[in-house]
Amino acid sequence: MEQITLDGVQLTLASPVRLSLKWVGQGELLKQLLAAWMVIDERDIPFNPRLIGKPGVGKTTLAYAAAKRLDRPVYLFQATMDTRPEDLIVTPVIGPDGRIQYAASSLVSAMLKGGVLILDEGNRMSEKSWASLAPLLDDRRYVESIITGLRIPASPDFRIVVTMNEDASTFEVPEYIHSRLQPQIFIDFPEADEELVILKENLPFASDHILRYVVDFLQRAHAADELYSVRDGINIARYALKMMAAAEKEPKELLPLAVERILGEEALRYLK
């Protein structure tokens, strides 16, 4: 693991992530996110955008795709209701020699390396955790570690994006944080043609008949404002394919079963 010394304190950095995610379709959303991160003058600073949408619409995938476009290391922090300020910044750990060492979070590692931090499901965090990020999210662009006494500045190349589920908020995000997380980019369920392209990208070995069956199911569910997502559709098709390989039965027999096994009996109402 890489280590860096800052004001006499040695920090062990987190490693970037490499995810097998590819953003397909909805190119306008990708442009909007990249525009938010642009710096157009030496007196300008990047925005801290937030991606908002139902679970499974591709918020993390969009963030990762935009980060890769910048050709910078990508770091991921999964927020939870138990996330503490020190989890976000620097955590003390016991080293092999029994001495206390300091582990930089993925956030701080991205700040120091000039990478991109995806703060996933940010509306699960408490106000106390958000308060520790307030100076990072305005023109000060630093965080303070109470544990080490360090004030850690962000590299000019550092970028952050926060994803939030519309329906999975554990805590209300404080208003002073809301004003720092701009712009808000809303991601909705894709249209049928885009959904088919996404399924084909993720399941290139599936037949067109199976993929269209799943897209038709998803579009009916979207129209009824159900939360079933492309991710669910991929799982339905993948499970049906596995059952076909095992049982050598026809898709028309196993696709409804796959829908029921993945999403429950109530989902069957959206089949033809």
Give the model confidence (pLDDT) of 61-110 as tens digits: 999 999 999 999 999 999 999 999 999 999 998 877 778 889 999 999 99
Strand spans (E) along the chain:
3-6, 9-12, 50-53, 74-78, 90-94, 100-104, 116-120, 142-145, 150-153, 159-165, 184-186
Q: Is residue 167 very low, low, confident or very high in pLDDT (cuts 50, 70, 90)?
A: low
The more confidently predicted of residues 43 and 23 is: 43
Query: What average pLDDT does the segment 247-251 reach?
Result: 66
At 226, the amino acid letter reads E
Q: Return the H-helix or E-strand segment holding 215.
A: helix 208-223
Task: Tell me what pLDDT residue 169 has.
Answer: 61
At 3, the amino acid letter reads Q
* Greatest CA separation for the chain: 66
Q: Give the pTM.
A: 0.88
- Whether 112 and 4 have beta carbons less than 8 Å apart is answered as yes
Closest by CA to 76, choosing from 11, 167, 162, 138, is 162
Task: Tell me what pLDDT residue 55 has.
Answer: 84
At 191, the amino acid letter reads E
Two tokens at 93? Answer: 């750990």
Confidence check: pLDDT of 120 > 60 = yes
Lowest-pLDDT choice from 53-62, 94-103, 150-159: 94-103
The more confidently predicted of residues 253 and 219 is: 219
Task: Tell me what pLDDT residue 168 has.
Answer: 56
For the chain, give the mean pLDDT: 91
Query: What average pLDDT does the segment 223-234 reach?
Result: 92
Task: Tell me what pLDDT residue 89 has.
Answer: 96
